């Protein structure tokens, strides 16, 4: 399991350029005019994790299979999208289908690339998008209230619970705040998710900066980071232009290129780590002579459900999980060494899988 992240933003902020770099494809047309991406482009990218290579080397695995993330390049939103402007209804529907939003914000000056609002102001850009999403949510919720009130008066418990959540969300939205700030109990999460609100999705601000600011950011991106801190969101700095140049280089040349421009890693790595943290995702591994493979789960997932990510039969017939912490597997040079040192543990159905665990599942057929 990975996550589906929708790349959104105003036209000409670098969304499609970033998408092409992330997926190393030319599927998304990057052109200097609004709505060059009419249908959302979907691409998958491997999650870079040096731990997987280390494990494969110790186990002599013939194949390395990383976990993968899905990115959806959604055409540029404009002011009035919530009312259908600029194909807005279609774009908003595409956003509903993703788990998180990567909001690309223009943090660079370039006279050759026009800005739909005629000026470079990342906070104003963020507010334009956020306003359109909030207006769409308001419209969606207000249309449901009358029918739910009728059901609630008839004693429908589920309708009463939904109304309570909707009331809390409407209060925030009418105050100009996103629905993700609604205070709710863990047992309300499923019902809240069923509301399908655009502004309930976690947000990662991707500050698209000029090449010279790719390492430390600039004054524009600093404002975005401050905004993210205020609202409990995440932010990263990326130069989509640099990422597009890295993407077309052979793997063996990428490290030299990065070193030459004083960067330690591609921006993709930062985006992925921030996305993982945003959604509470972790990675566990299965390792053997045939393959070393990474699997993504939500933090707090118990062993049977983690096994189910591989195959539903593993979850149904789960008996136990043979578990070795990543550090122990490496230090003791593999499964045999970990077993001899007493570091291989047998965990049951209540075990919460930890990030980096090397697991072997026992199950009944």
Could you list the residues known to form a binding site for ATP, using ranges.
12-17
- Whole-angstrom distance, CA of residue 268 vs CA of residue 220: 20
Residue 327, token pair as written in the block = 């550090």
Q: Which whole-number Å values give the CA distances from 315 to 93, 306, 349, 361, in the listed order? A: 33, 8, 10, 9
Sequence ranges of the binding site: 12-17
Q: Which two tokens stand for residue 171?
A: 């209060």
Question: What single string gives the DSSP state of each residue in 282-341?
Answer: EEEEEE-SSEEEEEEEETT-BHHHHHHHH-HHHHHTEEEEEEE-HHHHHHTTSHHHHHHT
* Cα–Cα distance measured from residue 343 to residue 361, given in angstroms and rounded to the nearest whole number: 16
User: If you ran DSSP here, which 8-state letter would residue 48 be given?
Assistant: P
Distance separating alpha carbons of residues 55 and 78, to the nearest angstrom? 47
Beta strands 318-324 and 358-363 are: antiparallel
Residue 345, SS3? strand
CB 268 within 8 A of CB 46: no
Distance CA 130, CA 80 (A): 12
């Amino acid at each position: 399991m990975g996550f589906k992240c929708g790349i959104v933003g105003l036209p000409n902020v670098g969304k499609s350029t970033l998408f092409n770099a992330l997926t190393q494809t030319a599927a998304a047309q990057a052109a200097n005019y609004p709505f060059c991406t009419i249908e959302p482009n979907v691409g998958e990218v491997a999650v870079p994790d040096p731990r997987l290579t280390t494990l494969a080397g110790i186990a002599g695995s013939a194949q390395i299979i990383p976990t993968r993330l899905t990115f959806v390049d959604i055409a540029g939103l404009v002011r009035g999208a919530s009312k259908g402007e600029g194909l807005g209804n279609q774009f908003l529907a595409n956003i509903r289908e993703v788990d998180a939003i990567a909001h690309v914000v223009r943090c660079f000056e370039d006279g050759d690339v026009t800005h739909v609002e005629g000026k470079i102001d990342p906070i104003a850009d963020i507010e334009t998008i956020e306003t359109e999403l909030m207006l769409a949510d308001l419209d969606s919720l207000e249309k449901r209230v009358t029918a739910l009130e009728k059901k609630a008066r008839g004693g429908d418990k589920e309708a009463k619970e939904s109304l309570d959540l909707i009331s809390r969300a409407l209060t925030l939205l009418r105050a100009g705040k996103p629905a993700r700030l609604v205070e709710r109990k863990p047992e309300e999460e499923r019902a809240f998710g069923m509301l399908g609100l655009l502004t309930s999705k976690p947000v990662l601000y991707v500050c698209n900066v000029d090449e010279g600011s790719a390492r430390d950011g600039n004054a524009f991106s600093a404002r975005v980071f401050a905004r993210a801190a205020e609202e409990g969101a995440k932010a990263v700095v990326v130069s989509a232009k640099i990422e597009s140049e890295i993407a077309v280089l052979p793997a063996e040349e990428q490290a030299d290129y990065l070193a030459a421009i004083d960067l330690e890693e591609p921006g993709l790595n930062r985006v992925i780590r921030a996305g993982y943290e945003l959604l509470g995702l972790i990675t566990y591994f299965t390792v053997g002579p045939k393959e070393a493979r990474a699997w993504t789960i939500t933090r707090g997932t118990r062993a049977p459900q983690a096994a189910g990510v591989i195959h539903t039969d593993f979850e149904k017939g789960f008996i136990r999980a043979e578990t070795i912490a990543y550090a122990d597997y490496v230090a003791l040079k593999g499964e045999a060494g970990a077993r001899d040192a007493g570091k291989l543990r047998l965990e049951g159905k209540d075990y919460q899988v930890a990030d980096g665990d090397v697991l072997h599942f026992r199950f009944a057929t």
